[in-house]
C-alpha cells in the first residue's frame, strides 16, 4: 500500500511538471504567433506571416499534450490491465502526422513561390521588423525546445518530446524565413528566391523528423519488442541472479513510458515454494533497479538439465 501511494505521488508530480511546461509553451506560442503575423504584415514578409501560422499550429499539439499527460498516467484498471500508456503513444503519432502535414505545407508553398519567382513573379522586399522578429522567434523556439525536451526526458514522456521537436521545427522554419528575409534585404531582388528555397530545405528536415517519430510510435502500437540493447541487458540480469538455472519464453514490449517483460525462469525442483518465490522477487527487483517504470511477469518452472526449452 505504501509503495502504491509513493508511485501515485511520483506520477502526480510528473503530470504536474508536464502540464506546467506545456502551458508555458502554449502561452509562449500564442503570443509569438500573434507577434509574428503582425510583424509579417507590417514588415511586408509573406514568409513571416506563414511562419506565424506555423507557430499557431503548435497550440494544437500543446493542448493535446496537456490533455493526454494525465490520462496516460492513470492507474491500471479492469479495462486496461497494463495502464493507459498507449494513449500517449497514439497522441505522439498524431503529433508526428501534424508535423509532417506542416512540413509538406511549407514544402509545397516554397516550391510554388520559387517557380512563380523564376517565371517572372515578384517577392516583396521585407523590412527590419520582419528581420528582427525572425531572430526573436529562433531564440524563443530553441529555448522552448530545450525546456520542453528536458522535462520530457525527466518524466519519460514521448508525447512531450514530440512536442519539443515541434517547437524546434518552428525554429527551423524561422531560420528559413530569416535566410529569405536577409537575402531579399541585403542581396537585392534577384536573390529573393532564397526565401522559398530555404523553406523547401527546412521542410524536408521537418518531414524526416516527423517520419522518425511516427515510425517509433507505430512500432510501439504494434507491440514491437524493446530495443535489442535493453533486452540483452535484462537477460544478463536474469542470468546473473543467484538461483536461476535457466530461463525461456522471454517477451518484451512497451506501453507508453512503461516497459513490460514476460518470462519463465527455471529453478531447482527441490527447493521450497517460498525459496522459489524469493528468487523470482529478486529477479524482478534487480530488473527494476535499472529499468523503471517496468512491469515484470515471471512464471516459475522446475529445471531439468536434459529438457530442451524454447
Domain limits, the chain: 2-221, 228-302
d(CA 89, CA 98) in angstroms, rounded, equals 14
Confidence grade of residue 278 (pLDDT, cut at 50, 70, 90): very high
Q: For all residues of the chain together, what is the average pLDDT?
A: 82
pTM of the model as a whole: 0.62
Q: Kindly report the CA angle at 211 between 107 and 193, in degrees rounded to 5?
A: 15
d(CA 297, CA 253) in angstroms, rounded, equals 12
pLDDT at 217: 80
Q: Residue 23, Cα to own-chain centre: how many angstroms?
A: 17
3-state percent breakdown (helix, strand, coil) of the chain, nearest 5: 70, 10, 20
Task: Write down the residue that cell numbers 511477469 correspond to.
Answer: 297
- Inter-residue contact 283 to 236 (CB < 8 Å): no
Give the residue among 237, 255, 257 at the shortest CA–CA distance from 247: 237
pLDDT at 182: 87
pLDDT at 80: 58
Which of 57-66, 130-139, 210-219, 287-296 has the largest mean confidence?
A: 130-139
- Inter-residue contact 287 to 234 (CB < 8 Å): yes
Task: Write down the residue that cell numbers 534577384 correspond to.
Answer: 190
Residue 98: which residues within 8 A CB-CB, separation 6 or more? 57, 60, 61, 166
Please give the sequence-ordered ranges of beta strands (E in DSSP) within 156-257, or none if there are none.
246-255
What CATH code is assigned to 228-302? Answer: 3.30.70.1350
Cβ of 270: how many Cβ atoms within 10 Å? 7
How confident is the model over 53-106, as pLDDT tens digits? Answer: 777 767 777 777 777 766 555 666 666 555 556 777 787 788 788 878 878 887
Please state which architecture CATH assigns to domain 2-221: Up-down Bundle (1.20)
Give the CA count within 13 Å in the CB-facing half-sphere of 121. Answer: 11
Q: How, if at all, do strands 258-267 and 246-255 pair? A: antiparallel
How confident is the model over 121-159, as pLDDT tens digits? Answer: 877 778 899 899 999 999 999 999 999 999 988 887 877
pLDDT at 7: 46
Which of 15-19, 86-90, 94-98, 300-304 has the largest mean confidence?
A: 300-304
Amino acid at each position: 500500500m505504501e509503495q502504491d501511494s509513493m508511485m501515485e505521488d511520483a506520477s502526480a508530480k510528473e503530470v504536474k511538471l508536464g502540464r506546467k511546461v506545456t502551458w508555458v509553451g502554449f502561452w509562449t506560442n500564442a503570443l509569438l504567433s500573434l507577434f509574428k503575423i503582425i510583424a509579417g504584415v507590417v514588415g511586408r514578409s509573406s514568409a513571416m506571416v506563414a511562419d506565424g501560422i506555423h507557430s499557431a499550429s503548435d497550440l494544437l499539439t500543446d493542448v493535446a499534450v496537456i490533455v493526454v499527460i494525465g490520462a496516460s498516467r492513470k492507474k491500471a484498471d479492469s479495462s486496461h490491465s497494463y495502464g493507459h500508456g498507449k494513449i500517449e503513444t497514439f497522441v505522439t503519432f498524431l503529433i508526428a502526422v501534424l508535423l509532417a502535414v506542416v512540413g509538406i505545407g511549407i514544402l509545397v508553398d516554397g516550391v510554388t513561390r520559387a517557380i512563380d519567382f523564376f517565371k517572372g513573379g515578384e517577392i516583396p522586399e521585407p523590412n527590419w521588423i520582419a528581420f528582427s522578429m525572425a531572430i526573436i522567434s529562433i531564440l524563443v523556439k530553441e529555448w522552448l525546445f530545450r525546456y520542453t525536451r528536458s522535462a520530457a526526458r525527466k518524466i519519460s514522456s514521448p508525447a512531450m518530446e514530440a512536442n519539443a521537436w515541434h517547437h524546434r521545427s518552428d525554429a527551423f522554419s524561422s531560420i528559413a524565413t530569416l535566410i529569405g528575409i536577409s537575402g531579399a534585404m541585403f542581396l537585392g531582388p534577384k536573390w529573393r528566391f532564397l526565401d522559398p528555397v530555404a523553406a523547401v530545405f527546412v521542410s524536408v528536415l521537418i518531414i524526416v523528423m516527423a517520419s522518425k517519430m511516427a515510425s517509433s510510435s507505430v512500432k510501439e502500437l504494434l507491440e514491437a519488442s524493446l530495443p535489442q540493447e535493453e533486452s540483452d541487458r535484462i537477460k544478463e540480469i536474469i542470468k546473473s541472479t543467484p538461483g536461476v538455472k535457466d530461463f525461456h519464453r522471454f517477451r518484451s514490449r512497451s506501453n507508453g513510458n512503461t516497459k513490460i517483460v514476460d518470462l519463465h525462469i527455471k529453478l531447482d525442483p527441490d527447493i521450497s515454494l517460498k525459496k522459489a518465490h524469493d528468487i523470482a522477487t529478486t529477479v524482478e527487483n534487480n530488473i527494476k533497479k535499472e529499468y523503471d517504470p517496468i512491469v515484470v511477469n515471471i512464471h516459475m518452472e522446475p529445471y531439468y538439465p536434459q529438457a530442451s526449452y524454447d
